Structure 1
């Protein structure tokens, strides 16, 4: 089968299309004939070597989520999965390929009316956004800022916060044009990447009860300063790299405002809970109540181009690869 591997960590040109043996199906797994592959920020972070390379070796097939049809079932897995259309999380590697394996616990059946492309745009990002808001103890009428809102997690966080009755929803993005697209999804205030008003919003919201941060990087302390008293910032990604080692000093200097910082990973959510939320979100998307935002659909052989576009900050939503 054809697959994309990381030959060298660093820029996108370090990836190459190669021929590999079809993956074997272990007990408790299914084999999927892949129809669509989600290109996520974590893929780029791994490829760049931002997380270090000790846990990732050259030759890795990147990609953590696919959608397609089950064509084989391993021992100890329910044979009823055969021929079902599914979304699957396949760990932190193995997705950029014509066929992929996944544990049955990490597979969700697709409802009628939901395409494989939409599934890999929503399948991981929707639950991350949902549980990140819950982790921040977000409640109706509170204000929310989504930092890095033009990515697929940010877009989902905006939609979910709006649906749950946020009092105001700020977003950071790179242009007024992107801001208008985010407004159509529920944003009420558009800020630039530094946190200043972008366009003609009028008054700049002084602070926010909740900040969902997908960006990280050296500017993180400036956004901790945007938290209201008792405000909570939840970090769900570091697409701009790690913040400076002393970033927590911002919290200590504003001790009397009782601000807090937390990280969130979907790995900490019990499997039945995240599967339930994902299935509900898939059903909402099939009804048209939740929007999937696809930037482009490219063939698998153009995976490096997809990563170059992400690195350049060109992507609004998610790029999807098809074998």
Structure 2
């Protein structure tokens, strides 16, 4: 089978298409013939080699979510999975392949009406957005700012906050055209990347997908008792002393938290994900696809990611 490996960390030229044996299903595993593979921001961060301490080494296969048809199951796995269309989490890497091996516990069956391309556009991002808003204790009537709203997590956060009864949903993005598209999805105010623009002065909830050195500036946008949840770090981690900004406004009772889907029990993740897939099949939740490229053009997908011009998600197809 064809697979894409990162032979050298750095720019996308270090990615290579190679041939590997089709994997077998081990205990508790399935093999999926992939129909669509999501290209996530974390894939680009891993490819750059900027994440340390997680055991990533050159030669790995990137990709954390796939959708397709189950072609083999482990001896201890229910045989009724065979032939079913599913979405699956690969464990963080291993998805840029024609046949992916995954744990049965990381698989969700797909509605017939939902395409595999839409499934990998929503599968991780919409679930992260849902639980990030829950982690922020968002309630109807509160105002929300989504920082970095043009990516798949941000788009889902905008739509879910709007559907959840937010009094205002502001977004940061890089262009008026993107702002217009986000407005169509539920945004009420559009700001530039620095947070400037016509919008409320403060927010009850900030969902930050960007991170980096400017995070403290968005702590300043929190209302009293406001909560900022950092769900991504595409611009790197905030400086080590960013908490000083929080302490300087001690009497505002603001708070900041990180969020990873790894902390949500699998049954809760799967229940929300299945509900979101059903909502997407009914047209109530939107999968925004930036581009669909052949698996062999994974490096081109990453070049587009690096330009910062992607709106939504790029999907690879074998």
Whether these two folds match at TM > 0.5 is: yes
Q: Report the alpha carbon displacement of residue 24 of structure 1 after superposing the two structures with TM.
A: 2.5
Higher alpha-carbon deviation: 170-179 or 18-27: 18-27
* Alignment correspondent of 1:226: 221
Matched, 1:314 2:314: no
Q: Report the alpha carbon displacement of residue 75 of structure 1 after superposing the two structures with TM.
A: 2.1
Report the Cα distance in structure 2 between the residues aligned to 1:259 and 1:54, rounded to whole angstroms: 31
Structure 1 segments of 4+ aligned residues over 2 angstroms from their partners: none
Q: What are the equivalent positions in structure 2 for 1:60-79 lying under 5 Å apart?
A: 60-79=60-79
Higher alpha-carbon deviation: 50-59 or 205-214: 50-59
Residue 255 (structure 2) aligned to one of 256, 260, 264: 260
SS at match of 2:187: coil
* Alignment correspondent of 1:285: 280
Residue 296 (structure 1) aligned to one of 275, 291, 295: 291
Q: Report the alpha carbon displacement of residue 54 of structure 1 after superposing the two structures with TM.
A: 5.8
| Cα displacement string for residues 283-304 of structure 1 (whole angstroms, at most 9, x for unaligned residues) | 0000101110000000001101
* Alignment correspondent of 1:200: none
* Alignment correspondent of 2:10: 10
Report the Cα distance in structure 1 between the residues aligned to 2:303 and 2:83, rounded to whole angstroms: 35
* Alignment correspondent of 2:126: 126
Report the Cα distance in structure 2 between the residues aligned to 1:301 and 1:258, rounded to whole angstroms: 50
Matched, 1:213 2:214: no
Matched, 1:238 2:228: no
Q: What are the equivalent positions in structure 2 for 1:1-323 lying under 5 Å apart?
A: 1-52=1-52, 55-197=55-197, 203-323=198-318
Check 1:133–1:54 CA distance in 2 against 1; reply closer, same or farther (3 A cut): closer
Report the Cα distance in structure 2 between the residues aligned to 1:210 and 1:266, rounded to whole angstroms: 18
SS at match of 1:3: strand
Instruction: Give RMSD over aligned pairs.
Output: 0.8
SS at match of 2:141: coil
SS at match of 1:4: strand
Report the Cα distance in structure 1 between the residues aligned to 2:286 and 2:113, rounded to whole angstroms: 13
> Any unmatched runs of 5+ in structure 1?
198-202
Check 1:183–1:80 CA distance in 2 against 1; reply closer, same or farther (3 A cut): same
Report the Cα distance in structure 2 between the residues aligned to 1:263 and 1:239, rounded to whole angstroms: 14
TM-score (norm 1): 0.97
> Any unmatched runs of 5+ in structure 2?
none
Report the Cα distance in structure 1 between the residues aligned to 2:203 and 2:261, rounded to whole angstroms: 24
TM-score (norm 2): 0.99
